Chains A and B, each alone.
Chain A
């Protein structure tokens, strides 16, 4: 057996086990960590397929950015499990219904023969000088340049929308204007008042 196939089995094992653990784990932080392990295993499998750009992007975006925000939210969550359990059975019928549909779809799609090795073929091996990122960039910036730009504009709109949502109630937020604070002069904050000193008799 080649070493890369041993690696394949190791990473697939981690992939499957961690995704199962992610679903079954009751602790939200642990579930998020198992999801991160799943992403890492998926990235490693992609690396074995010589898709190094996709693998690194998966880690950079999902592990490095999305999951960090997840962890941020989890830290704010109430870790009391009893409330979670009380809600669990209420959604059970709906959950079973949805999962049956999803399983049926997956079975139908996977059995349709579209994903057989005969259909897709074994990906060809490239030599060390083959650059994955150049190949993707050539496709992205020539053939698919308009969809790519459209996606970029969509993301920009999403960013602006998110920012405007936060800034809706501007009047209520108290924030410091730092340049104002730094440039403040003594005369802005202090008023020199001339007060006559009282005589010793009056103050008694």
Chain B
């Protein structure tokens, strides 16, 4: 698909040689990814308010447009025309750098996501490591926001957040190690390809406890309820972005939602067979659902996880900070380490139907 695009551009402009064409193609690919992402993010805020509204027996947004469908755009325009307030004695450069540092990694991780067979921006050989590396860079946005605001509550929120993110990155890293051991590859494409063949071949069955740990870790990493102590309103006002307004705040907000969508996507890719149909290999159903495109299955599974975010948020009260830390270091970390040994033995001795 891309190659034909390159050729047609080359026919139009003869001096448009290989190197430059590659750059333009990369830019086009990037834009083709970012625009749907922004729309998805905007309508996720809408879905969140609607879903939680219905769960709490309310209606949710219904004023702007039919069924409130234009609400995200109203929010965007409101954000754009708000004044950007700088706290006195804050470091303006670092203050403005912080939201950018939060936003860029949240977009950059999407480069390695396979949306279908051979449908990706970059097929990195170390894509799972890339995901972890770029994901860990996102911490700087929060650290800097807390430090540059020159205010108490952001600093406290940033301290909490950094400690949480570092701790849970460890747990998620170990979970990813177990997936890598079964798939024997750190390439996301290969991990998904190894899960081909119906719902019973996906890794959520052999790695069921790890899937649970991963999802709880994902909730913490994205600062979602019930682990949203970073912006715990009842304790520290609004966390790291108390002092932010207008577009800088919107960037933090977008980064958070991009990360949420990405974690849902990663859960699908690692444990739920990525773009594979759940009915592969099942005699009748496979034929019936033949016409459904790969991308639909991927987005369908992802949407379920996004719904899970809202569901959990509406259901559970906020955890206390030390309880979250205890959950990480005293429960999840030993559990994942034991599971690494279990998975190692199972793959080495070929025990069980999956290895």
Contacts and interface: CB of A to CB of B under 8 A. Distances in A.
A57 B143 contact: no
- Range for the number of chain A residues in contact with chain B: 20 to 34
Interface in A35-73: 36, 52-53, 56-57, 59-60, 63-65, 68-69, 71-72
Nearest to B166: A68
A57 B129 contact: yes
A65 B162 CA distance: 10
Contact of A133 (B94, B125, B322): B125
Interface stretch (B16-24, B70-78, B278-286): B16-24
B133 A64 contact: yes
Given A75-B147, A176-B322, A68 B136 contact: yes
A29 B125 CA distance: 34
Nearest to B135: A64
Given A71-B140, A178-B326, A30 B133 contact: no
A60 B129 CA distance: 8
Interface in B156-209: 158-159, 162, 166, 169, 186
A3 interface: yes
B113 interface: no
B90 to A, nearest CB: 12
B126 interface: yes
A52 to B, nearest CB: 6
A131 interface: yes
A29 B133 CA distance: 21
B137 A72 contact: no
B207 to A, nearest CB: 22
A63 B104 CA distance: 15
Given A71-B140, A72-B162, A75-B146, A131 B125 contact: yes
A29 B140 contact: no
Contacts of A30: 94
B311 interface: no
Contacts of A59: 133-134, 136-137
A69 B326 CA distance: 20
A64 B137 contact: yes
A98 interface: no
Nearest to A71: B143
Contacts of A33: 94, 97, 140, 144
A29 B155 contact: no
A56 B158 contact: no
Contacts of A65: 136, 166
B132 interface: yes
A74 interface: yes
Interface string B131-154: 011111101100110111000000
A99 interface: no
Interface string B59-92: 0000000000000000000000000000000010
A132 interface: yes
B19 A2 contact: yes
Given A57-B133, A63-B137, 18 more contacts: A29-B94, A36-B140, A57-B129, A59-B133, A59-B134, A60-B133, A63-B136, A65-B136, A68-B140, A68-B143, A71-B144, A72-B162, A74-B147, A75-B143, A75-B155, A131-B125, A132-B126, A178-B326
19 contacts: A2-B19, A29-B94, A29-B148, A33-B97, A57-B133, A59-B134, A60-B133, A64-B133, A64-B135, A64-B139, A65-B136, A68-B143, A71-B147, A72-B143, A72-B162, A74-B147, A131-B125, A133-B126, A133-B186
